[in-house]
Amino acid sequence: MKQRGFRVRLLPLVIAGMLAAGPVSSGAAEASDKARAPDVTRQMEKGPATGKGAPQARAEAERNRIVDESIAALAETNRALRALDANRTDEALEHLALAIGKLELVVAMD
């Protein structure tokens, strides 16, 4: 139970860090996908995961899913910042709500 409280307190810090980090280009997401591509290729060459490799493959897939959700949360945060720059407060709030939802998923998956 203590750990969950820590995660809940950590969420605002993560959001503040994302806001301070500034815009993330779509190139970062593409670079991340390209960085993972060789691993996927190697896994396909090995064939289906069996035995001891199966838990590792599942863990890696879960990590990749967490990274993808985090990247999506950053993208929503950037959309919110652009909406704020254009004085579209309601739209910014919608994007922030989506970003927070994605971050809650990340925390829940961890």
Q: What are the boundaries of each domain within the chain?
A: 2-25+52-109
Distance separating alpha carbons of residues 89 and 95, to the nearest angstrom: 10
pTM of the predicted model over 0.75:
no
Residue 106 pLDDT grade (very low, low, confident, very high; cuts 50, 70, 90): confident
DSSP 48: S
Distance separating alpha carbons of residues 17 and 41, to the nearest angstrom: 33
Q: Is the pLDDT of residue 88 over 90?
A: yes
Residue 4 pLDDT grade (very low, low, confident, very high; cuts 50, 70, 90): low
| pLDDT the model gives residue 93 | 95
The sign of the dihedral angle between the CA atoms of 71, 75, 81, 84 is negative
Asked whether the beta carbons of 82 and 75 are under 8 A apart, the reply is no
Q: What angle in degrees, to the nearest 10, is found between the helix axes of 89-109 and 2-21?
A: 140
The sign of the dihedral angle between the CA atoms of 10, 11, 14, 15 is negative
